[in-house]
Amino acid sequence: MDAQTSLAHVTVGARPLRTEEVVAVARHDARVVLDDDAVRRVAETRALIERLADDPEPHYGISTGFGALATTFIAPERRRQLQLSLIRSHAAGTGAEVERDVVRALMLLRLQTLASGHTGVRPVVVETYAALLNAGITPVVREYGSLGCSGDLAPLAHVALAAMGEGKVRVGDSSAAGDPVEASDALAAAGILPLVLAEKEGLALINGTDGMLGMLTLALHDLDDLLITADLAASLSIESQLGTDAVFADDLMALRPQRGQAGSAARLRLFLRASPIVASHRDPSVCTRVQDAYSLRCTPQVHGAVGDTVDHARAIAERELASVIDNPVVTADGRVESNGNFHGAPVAYVLDFLAIAVADLASISERRTDRALDPARSNGLPPFLADEVGVDSGLMIAQYAAAGIVSELKRLAVPASVDSIPSSAMQEDHVSMGWAAARKLRRAIDGLARVLAIEILTGCRALDLRAPLDPGPVTARVRDLVRRDVAGPGPDRSLSPEIEAVVALVADGSLARIGRDATADPSSRPAVPAATEPSRRNR
C-alpha cells in the first residue's frame, strides 16, 4: 500500500489532482510546484476581495463575523484580529495525533482549492502552503474536532495556525519520533515567513472537505492493492483446500454481468491456472464433493462487489478532487456568494459504504482461514496445520486474531454519516460526520490488511502440507515470497513476528505486485489453455 511512486513533483492549480499525485505528496514527499496561471488567477481574485473590503455594505467573511455571528459588521481596523481569532479559536482539536500522510494530504488538497482563484486569498498564502509541504513541515493535527461540515474546521485550523507561526509541528519524514517543535522555529529554519492573514483568508483556509477527502483518496489507493491481495489470498485457500476453479468460468460469470465479479473471477482463474494441486482432484472418481462452501465458491461475488463499491467511491472522490470548496466562494463572474458546498455528505456516505465492504471482505477471508484449520472441512489437512497434533497448536490462535479483527471491523462498519449533532447555536444544524467516517475507515483498512495476511500465512503453510503436489506458478510465487521471511511448517513457534512479516508484505504492495505482474505480463502466464477441463462436480 506504500509502494514508491515515480512522481518527483506535482503541479498544483493547472487541473484537478489525481489520486496518485495526492499519494506522491502525502507519502513520498513529492515536490509541489505552483502553476503560473493559477498564481495569476489568485492575484486577480484577490483584487476583487480588496475592493469589497472597502465597501461600506457588509459582505460575509470579508467584513462580517462568521457562523452564527454572520450579521456582525467588523470595522476595517479589527479585521486582521478577526482572522487571527478565527484560526486560534477553531484550532480546538483533541486526542491522538493524526498520521503524517493524512495531514499532508489535507494540506495539498486545501492548497489546490486556494490555487483555484475562487477563494480570494493572496498569492502569498498559496506560496506559503506550498513551501510548508516542500519543507516537510507537518502541523500537529488532533484526532477529534471535525464534524465534517463547514469543512474539516479544526484539522484545517491547526494547519493554518502553523502557517501563522503558532502551534506545534513535526519536521521531516521521520517526524513521528520525539516531541514536536514550535511552528515558529520550524518556519524560521526553513526560511518561511509566518502568514499575517487579511480579509477572507481565515475562512478560505478552513472551509473544506480536505481531511475526509484526503483519507478517502489514500484509502482508495490502499484498496486497489488489497483487492488484488485478497484474490491472491483466496487462491491460496481454494488451491490448498482442494477447491475447484470451475465455478469461476467466464461463461458462468457472464450470466450475471457484474463488472467487479467478472474481474475477480478472471484473476482467480489466472492465479489458479496450471496448478497441479487443482488438477489432482478434477476426476470425479477422485473427488466426490458436489460443491465447495460459499467462502470458496462465492469469492468473486463478494470480492467483486467490494471492487464495485471502490469504483463508486472513486467516482465520488474524483468529482470532489475537481471541486472548489469554500464559503463564501468567488464565482467565475466575480460574485462572492455563500453556499453549502462544504457539507461533507457525498464523501461521508462513500466512506461509510467502503467500511461496510471492507468488513465483509475481511469476514469472508477469515472464514476461509478457519476452514483450512478444521480437519472436518479442510480435505485432508492436519488439525490447525499443526506439526505434531496434540502437542502443537499450529495456527489455531492466528485464526483467533483474525476473528477478533473481523469483529471490530463489523463495529467500524456502523455508519457515522447517519448521525448529526447541531452546532454553532443551531446555525450549523445538520452535519456529515465525514471526518469520523474517514477515521474509522482508516482503521478498518489496517484491520483488513492483517486479516488477509493471516489467510496468506495459513494458505502458504497449507500448500506446503500438500507436498509432493506443487502449487500453480502464481501461488508458488506468493508462497516463495512469504518463505523469505517466514519458515515453513514445523513445531510451534511465536506467530506474532511471522504475522507481522506477512502484514508488511501486504502493506508495502509486494504481494499485490505479484498479482499485477501475473495479469499484466502475458509471458509470465502458463502456456496451458485458460479454460482447463472443469470438475464435473460443479457443472
Active site residues: 60
Output the CA–CA distances (angstroms, integers) from residue 286 to 121, 249, 269, 525, in the order listed.
74, 21, 22, 28
What span, in angstroms and rounded, lies between the C-alpha atoms of 340 and 360? 34
Residues 311/318, Cβ–Cβ less than 8 Å: no
Closest CA to 433 of 223, 23, 208, 146: 146
Measured in degrees and rounded to the nearest 5, phi and psi for residue 9 equal -150, 160
Would you mind telling me the total number of residues written for the chain in this entry?
539
CA angle, 68 then 69 then 73, to 5°? 155
For the chain, the first-to-last Cα distance in angstroms comes to: 38
Give me 195's grid cell.
502568514
Would you call 328 helix, strand, or coil by DSSP? coil
Cell numbers 499485490: residue = 512
Distance separating alpha carbons of residues 140 and 103, to the nearest angstrom: 8
The Cα–Cα gap between 200 and 327 comes to 9
- Rounded to 5°, the CA angle 120-123-128 comes to 115
Query: Could you give the CA distance from residue 45 to residue 113 in angstroms, rounded to a whole number?
Result: 13
* C-alpha triplet 131, 135, 137: angle, nearest 5°: 100
**Closest CA relative to residue 145, chosen from 102, 104, 83, 96:** 96
d(CA 97, CA 165): 19
